[in-house]
A and B are shown apart, each in its own frame.
Chain A
């Protein structure tokens, strides 16, 4: 039925729930539960996201899930998403392969504050699957290394089997551009590196008090990493955390990801720690 009250016809095209098609150019299992997809937009549009932002990834019939970009926008042709099998949607997405189409909405949310990180000493602390969204920042720094001062990277995985981005890890171990330290919770036969929780890595290298710190990992990890940062006297304004909640709509409406008065999907997922440390529901 026609609407005579306004000139609303131009609204029809602006359905914020309409996904865009992306083509899978590479797909392989990264671990037993995580699949690494490399994609490009089907309409060949360039990457226009910021490190730390996310998309709602979907297949019609199955639903949508929030997935952080796992590559940097400095790599312009394609982008990476790592999908862990958790439920209905991720299970369906895992069946996709090279040449298939994935539906994406985004980029969504606030990513890492690049203007506040440029020209600074950086420490990234990534635990488990937390390496995926932070990889967008790590790659960015590596690609524009001259824009940053000292770059430290701590990565903790449960075991060597669960380590992600093995090629990257091999490069970082050798690279002079990053001071990379890693650990696993449980050792295994061929593992010769550090064993222990991620906070043990703070003894491996000095971290200066003016460092900007980015943390992403399982909820339990934040508490212990923050204790280490407090020991180092790093102010909370200089600490950024990447949070995970049930981001269903991704556009700050549906309410599922709320932490007190914040919507993780639009106020975050990256937050300055000082802004949310007093939020009772944050940690």
Chain B
């Protein structure tokens, strides 16, 4: 039996885009990583399922149904390390947009709204159901960060997950600030690690990696209004897209592991 680190992928409520991001690697870096890890379960790319002990499980998708708890617990029991893989698993991600609404089902599914498989409750991070060791943040997760985190784990080192905001990376890239161009941005409260590609390409940061540990949400709203020109209503709602569960007003605020 190989002594490579055994990794597996699992998915819950998500678009599976973070797993696709993996299969999209297709380059030398990923193939080289396969000298050190062995993928033992990965529905997107292989049909086998494993009965062996898994060293690292990557779980994509949010926890939205009580009925998923058992499957999550089973993954936890089979794994040494569990990583919330991508925004949906790490923070609830975009799915958590529904958490403050009640009429979304009718809006989205119309006459099919009452179909039984659509039954779900709050969209929560995986850590709401089981112990998660680390989070690979972002929508999608960042492949360079993935390689770094896996490298650290292969060596038995706790990975370093950034707890500084996207502004840091924009400064290092010498990107012209969105606010200077008459736009707005969430970079001041958004957890970095992505390398800030969006502002560099002319798009405001949406905080897809969630917030830093102690975001100044009050100041965010003021800045969005005073400097970004947003209405109060829009400024207050602006960070819901990806960070609904990270906000102080989240109905089910869950502490996510990041260190």
Contacts and interface: CB of A to CB of B under 8 A. Distances in A.
Whether chain A touches chain B in the assembled complex (some CB pair under 8 Å): yes
Interface of A: 61-62, 87-88, 91-92
Interface in B139-156: 155-156
A61 B158 contact: no
A96 B156 CA distance: 14
Contacts of A61: 155, 157
B162 to A, nearest CB: 15
A88 B155 CA distance: 11
| The 4 residue pairs across chains A and B that have the minimum distance between CB atoms | A88-B157, A88-B158, A62-B157, A61-B155
A93 to B, nearest CB: 12
Interface string B124-166: 0000000000000000000000000000000111101000000
Contact of A87 (B155, B156, B158): B158
A92 B158 contact: no
A62 B158 CA distance: 9
A91 B155 CA distance: 12
6 contacts: A62-B155, A62-B157, A88-B157, A91-B156, A91-B158, A92-B157
Contacts of B155: 61-62
Contacts of A87: 158
A87 B160 CA distance: 11
Contacts of A91: 156-158
Contacts, number: 13
B117 to A, nearest CB: 44
Contacts of A88: 157-158, 160
A88 B259 CA distance: 11
A61 B156 CA distance: 11
A62 B156 CA distance: 10
Contacts of B157: 61-62, 88, 91-92
Contacts of B158: 87-88, 91
A94 B155 CA distance: 14
Nearest to A89: B157
Given A61-B157, A88-B160, 7 more contacts: A61-B155, A62-B157, A87-B158, A88-B157, A88-B158, A91-B157, A91-B158
A225 B158 CA distance: 37
A87 B158 CA distance: 8
A62 B155 CA distance: 9
B164 to A, nearest CB: 14
A87 B159 CA distance: 11
Nearest to A92: B157
A92 B157 CA distance: 8
A267 to B, nearest CB: 27
Nearest to B159: A88
A58 to B, nearest CB: 12
A62 B160 CA distance: 11
Contacts of A62: 155, 157
Interface string B66-78: 0000000000000
Contacts of B160: 88
A92 B152 CA distance: 12
A61 B157 CA distance: 9
Contacts of B156: 91-92
A91 to B, nearest CB: 8
Which residue, B157, B158, B160, has most C-beta atoms of chain A within 10 A?
A: B157
A190 B160 CA distance: 43
B181 to A, nearest CB: 32
Interface string B57-72: 0000000000000000
A185 B22 CA distance: 53
A75 B155 CA distance: 35
Interface in B153-183: 155-158, 160
A168 to B, nearest CB: 33
A87 B155 CA distance: 14
B257 to A, nearest CB: 15
A41 B112 CA distance: 74
A101 to B, nearest CB: 16
